[in-house]
Structure 1
Amino acid sequence: MRVVSTLTAGLGLAGLLAGTVAAAAPPDVPKETRQTLSWDRCPADQKELNEAGAQCAKITVPLDYADPGGRTIQLAISRVKARSPERRGILLSNPGGPGGTGLAHTLALRPTLKDAADHYDLIGFDPRFLGESTPLTCGPAPRPAPPPPTTTPRADFEASVRAARDTARRCHEHGDNATLLPHASTRNVARDMDAIRAALGERELSYYGVSYGADLGAVYTQLFPRRADRVVLDSSTDPAATQYELFQRSGAPAEAALGSRVRADVRALLERAERHPIPVEGQRLNAPLLRMIFKQLVQHEEYDAQLASVVADLKKAAAGEDIEPGPALAGLLALLSSPELADSMVGGALFMCGDGGWPAGGWPKNPETYWKNMRRSHATQPVFGPYVNSMIAPCAFWESAPREPGTKIGNAVPVLLLQARHDNNVPYEGALALHRRLTGSRLLTADIRAHGVYGRGNDGLTSVPCADRAVNTYLRDGTLPAADLTCPKPEDHS
């Protein structure tokens, strides 16, 4: 189960770019020269990299690319050298989020890449302010108070507003964050990617990005079209929409994905939890938490059995039974209280709030906007409408204004786009919108309900063989499909 990445995306931290204003051409990497890098073993916690014989290093980049002689930060990168004498170049990747670290991500693609991996140095990197790349943290969060025994939808909403406002305050006031935060943006991560290319002495880079990583890749093609070699963008969004708009658009396909078998039970559980949170294992699950759990479980067809198991457990708990949660519910409960999820949410906020437009990232500043949209959505999307419309990001209260507008996408760089037709995290229409703007692209559609198409077998999900083959052929031989195509639906979802 892609637990952290997909749950984080379900929380509204998917790859969502804001703004449609064209900007002046960005500054390129200053002094296009190769840096002298000190390669060494990777950090001890990067077991897979060290076992693969990878090397790690730090490169230096400007904090502000508009001031290349000013303050600098360091980016952590990894390298697994190409195996083939017919080396193509370097392949970078990003796992999404935003907020996902990626030092080992490109290496993790190797089982699916197969022989295509042999032609590239596999380069992983942690985006700026994450992981080992000049990490930025917010002030410590107070221990969350459990939901009270009784509540109302308005009380739950007000609690989410307080939490978002507090996160914004803690992030802005902590350490040197007020100086750093304005430079946490997708445009700067794309520039950092180009700085990695330059530091390694390469003329071009190839790239695979999924979810937010796909949107990052689209920005790279816009800023550095002559540096983009073979680019694969998996599960992308409409580049003309704001983050909040994209989040709202995920409600309808999620509602459709719920299915008739569990819909009545899910609605009954939510109606109960909106007044009386459901006690499970010493925790109380209010309606927002239940919607968050259900949103995770409708993202992949393979999760349907887990959804049924979770609903069965919750029905027993709602009836007053003292239950021991099954593996699916137990895992989600542990994740909801884990520092790993909290860290990924903060990392996501950095880039959601730093991408163009004001309010930060296009999030409405008035909480009543969210409340009204939430109430309005209930009629047609009773399960997920209140969730996707009421999710108020810390960006609504962000004190650091983005330094630049969003990136207007429109170029002819050859790109392979992948999209699941029934993706309810980043809906299919977003990929169609990006496809129209990337006039040199080919769109490969997988007729499945999923978030992420390439390399699904690596995560224990049903692979899409024709998609895997198309990506590998493109990365190995440079051959895009002759036209857009649809991969047949895999028969096995075990």
Structure 2
Amino acid sequence: MIRPARRPAAVVACLLVPVLLLAACAVPPKNQVALEDVGKSGGGAGGGTAAASGAPDGFEDFYTQAVEWSECGGFQCATVDAPLDWQDPGAGTIEIAMKKLPATTDEPRGSLLVNPGGPGASGIGLVESTSTFGFRLRAEYDIVGFDPRGVGQSTPVTCVDDEAKDEFLTTDYPDTDEGIAQQIEAIRQWGQACAENTGELLGNVDTQSAARDMDMLRAALGDEKLNYLGYSYGTQLGATYAGLFPGNAGRLVLDGAIDITLTSDEVAAEQAVGFENALRAYVEDCIAGPECPLGDTVDVGLQQIRSMVNDAAAHPIATSSGRVVTKKLAFYGVAMPLYNEANWSYLTTALQEIFWEGRGDTLLLLADNYNDRNPDGSFNSNSEEAFRAINCADGRATEDLEEMKKLAAEIVEDAPTLGESFGFSGVDCADWPYPAVKQDFDIHAKGAAPIMVIGTTNDPATPYRWSEALADTLDSGFLVTYQGEGHTAYGRSNECVNGAVEDYLVNGSVPDGELTC
């Protein structure tokens, strides 16, 4: 499974530049309840009366701790303590790192927590991308990014050194019994290294624990209600929060949603189709323009890409750096630009180099960008470690070999170009050192204030159907649709979406019906 929740602005380097598109809106009639004063926050510096609302027994000190902000390059930074285990107050503590973009008004509404997805992407990195947020949000809210437990500058999941990590992200395994056994052994060794170097935190990085951290942050920041903007996996985190703490949920925006009712196997299968559809849209656009190396028809172009990716297993693609592009890296390189149609031209350049010049420099650059790898072999983050650890803590795909083979064949039938890279997802957590955590929250979030769910119609990583499903699952969910390409919408789509999000977060305005932009 590819990272479903990866917000492009959080991971794309200067090579890949987002664009803002403008489109009209259509609003079919449907009534929604008014928000009234939901979203009003204490706006304090931490602790106080907000901290008294709902602290679990034994965890009161975490809720009432003071947040000590310090200047850090035009932002404000702080680190707070969180319990290692939300079921055991005496198990020890970890650290949660935050970065704040202070509101520009003298009397802000309070805090807006933000999460870019992953799991494993940095909320601190998202806050640093200040252009993501409209001027009204920057005026009215202290925008606070945090690295969830196990991620980045918070107490991290740590596994192997950079050289071993690079090998892990590069090595191909054939879809044979022997190849699957080799992959399971590699995952077992990776998981054992994570357990040895991370300790008990590895068994406590599940999304429910991260959502409990958010409620602690809400209280420590002095907010009576949690106001939140989450992208992709961040929608799962936000929906989990609403299910655990419906009475504390203020204005929640869940952009590029995950259907929280799906199994891990269903996620992999539907995501494969999402990337297949996005790749088809790219090929259609490519062959309609000049200098496209993919022939004259969409089917021919897709077949060329499929052959290129699959052939890289036996014949890795050479680059001028001396490194080669394996099948796994070729897949990452093709998938990465599909997160944002503004980056499609880089995929065209990569394919031109491969088909016309026989080299994979740009494709490798795209794959490295996805994996957060630097040219010297170092990595900018622990996103891969956290991604695997959090997913394995939240749930498991089937590990029955024959069932995996059957599911893999079905995926390839539905997504013939890239589907092979989505099969055998049961291997991803094979022999993981800790069991998955039982889901224990109300998926309908009964009693929560209205929750905005945003879906992009040809989103590759979180298919549009997932946003429809989450809006329907949440008792108070309402859907905003962006008709377009790419992953997520707010801050990279059009003024219709941006305006709806800011009207909701700032003024509490809920559309009369499902809004289409």
Q: Which residue of 1 aligns with 2:317?
A: 278
Q: Offset of 1:382 from its aligned partner? A: 2.0
Q: Which residue of 2 aligns with 1:37?
A: 67
Aligned letter for 2:318? Answer: P
Q: Return the match for 1:384 from 412, 415, 418.
A: 418
| Whole-angstrom distance in 1 between the partners of 2:380 and 2:98 | 23
Q: Offset of 1:286 from its aligned partner? A: 3.4
Aligned letter for 2:387? Answer: G
| Whole-angstrom distance in 2 between the partners of 1:200 and 1:107 | 19
How much is the aligned-residue C-alpha RMSD, in angstroms? 3.1
Q: Offset of 1:391 from its aligned partner? A: 4.2
CA spacing shift, 1:57–1:304, aligned 2, 3 Å: closer
Q: Percent identical across equivalent pairs? A: 29
Q: Deviations over 1:15-59 (max 9, x none)?
A: xxxxxxxxxx994783275322332233xxxxxxx22xx322222
Q: Which residue of 1 aligns with 2:4?
A: none
Gaps of 5+ in 1: 8-24, 43-49, 356-360, 457-462, 488-494
* 2:106 is the counterpart of 1:71: no
Judge conservation of contact 1:77–1:103 (CA < 8 Å) in 2.
Answer: yes
Q: Return the match for 2:117 from 88, 96, 102.
A: 96
Calculate the TM-score normalised by the size of structure 2.
Answer: 0.77
Q: Which residue of 1 aligns with 2:206?
A: 185
- Superposed, which structure 2 residues align to 1:30-429 within 5 Å? 30-31=59-60, 34-42=64-72, 50-51=73-74, 54-106=75-127, 108-109=129-130, 112-140=133-161, 142=164, 144=167, 153-154=175-176, 159-172=182-195, 174-175=196-197, 177=199, 179-259=200-280, 260=298, 262-281=301-320, 282-316=322-356, 321=358, 323=359, 325-326=361-362, 329-333=364-368, 338=374, 339-340=378-379, 343-355=382-394, 361-392=395-426, 394-405=428-439, 407-411=441-445, 412-429=448-465
CA spacing shift, 1:405–1:312, aligned 2, 3 Å: same
Q: Deviations over 1:392-441 (max 9, x none)?
A: 55422212113433544103431111110111211111111111111222
Judge conservation of contact 2:278–2:338 (CA < 8 Å) in 1.
Answer: yes
CA spacing shift, 1:145–1:132, aligned 2, 3 Å: closer
CA spacing shift, 1:335–1:186, aligned 2, 3 Å: closer
Calculate the TM-score normalised by the size of structure 1.
Answer: 0.80
| Whole-angstrom distance in 2 between the partners of 1:130 and 1:147 | 22
Judge conservation of contact 1:370–1:392 (CA < 8 Å) in 2.
Answer: yes
| Whole-angstrom distance in 1 between the partners of 2:60 and 2:338 | 48
CA spacing shift, 1:372–1:82, aligned 2, 3 Å: same
Query: How many aligned positions are there?
Result: 442
Q: Deviations over 1:429-486 (max 9, x none)?
A: 1111111111222211111121010011xxxxxx311000111111111111111111
Q: Offset of 1:209 from its aligned partner? A: 0.4
SS at match of 2:133: helix
Judge conservation of contact 1:243–1:363 (CA < 8 Å) in 2.
Answer: yes
CA spacing shift, 1:200–1:379, aligned 2, 3 Å: closer
| Whole-angstrom distance in 1 between the partners of 2:179 and 2:380 | 20
Gaps of 5+ in 2: 1-6, 14-53, 281-297
Judge conservation of contact 1:151–1:277 (CA < 8 Å) in 2.
Answer: no
| Whole-angstrom distance in 1 between the partners of 2:496 and 2:439 | 38
SS at match of 1:75: strand
Give the stretch that moved more between structures: 123-132 or 76-85: 76-85
| Whole-angstrom distance in 1 between the partners of 2:148 and 2:214 | 9
Judge conservation of contact 2:411–2:422 (CA < 8 Å) in 1.
Answer: no
Aligned letter for 1:430? Answer: W
CA spacing shift, 1:249–1:486, aligned 2, 3 Å: same
